[in-house]
Structure 1
Amino acid sequence: MVRQLLDPANAVTATGLGLSALGIHCAIAGFPEIGVAVALWALLADHLDGVVARRTRGRRAETCHVGKNLDSFADLVSAGVFPAVTSIIVGHGSALSVAAGTILVLASALRLSYFNVFGSPGGRFIGVPTTYVVPVTAIIFLLRPIIPEAIFPNLFAVVLIVVAILHIAPLRVPKTAGVMYFVITAFCVAASIMLATRGLA
């Protein structure tokens, strides 16, 4: 099994999964902004592994299948479990934060399972991709200083519920391509620096 991680694309995916676990640890330790910053780098790894996979010659079919499943698990952790745990932490275990986290994880798992079976017909995703929740989470935390702390946890929980619904909604979403890769990369780098700086202050 470990030999599958010698594949460059799978190694990148595993790195992203490790970053997601680190982000969860940061949130639990009381540093959610740093956790979100780390999760943004997990998102970058998710975008990079596909590029690496397409440029790696001679990949065995078994390695590709392992990579596809590993990528789905990594997405579930970074875009499902991490935001859910963060919501519960900032919400101090409120009923709304627990409900939001549960709904998000279930919707993420269903969305990823559906994608693994049906793919993206016509070159478009069905439902909003799970990874979208990571930059949405980053935006919410970037705005945290101007949001009254009394409503921030509930606002974050509601946003996660809305995104969860969009995951399984019958929407046709274009794939990320071209200049959007650079936009996402620039946002992830800039936002992660800002959040990490704030978290360490």
Structure 2
Amino acid sequence: MLAEVADTAQAGALYAWLSGLRSAGELPAVAEIVPAARTVLLDGAEDVPALTALLATWRPAAGAGPEGPLVEVPTVYDGADLAEVAELWGVSPEAAVRIHTEPRYRVAFCGFAPGFGYLTGLPERYEVPRRATPRTSVPAGSVALAGHWTGVYPRSSPGGWQLLGRTGLTLWDTARDPAALLAPGVRVRFTAVRPG
């Protein structure tokens, strides 16, 4: 079952509401609740009519629900696109780092690759376009921007986001429980560190 909403904030709010109902034992059985940019997937719904009736009672509210745990992301800001992003913002690269480390981000949803979180929190005026030509290989741990999203590549992969820097954190580890360091609702703070 796929619930469509107006925007990412509503998707986060619906996800938080459904997760709360599930924790309280008040949600009809579903295998998984998966938020996205403007949808929430309820996978493996056993009682679709009951779930449909419950969803009809939801009303969008301000905020994206309760705050999740805080993950600090130590970042070396030496990305290949830092100077270009700074130029787009009309500031120096040092000021661009301050702009990027100032907000408190929140994981809206995950996708693209296991462990990749789409982070909200960067003010709208700092949106940047994707690269005209994607790179064939972006290193694991790359901290990047595209549109109004911030993300960290959990593994090496092709990508078209603007690279600001890198972190040594492991975002996806199947030996860890949970495997993903970033999950919907988790709060994220980027901190600038020197190469070491």
TM-score normalized with structure 1 length = 0.24
More strand by share: 2
Bigger helix fraction: 1
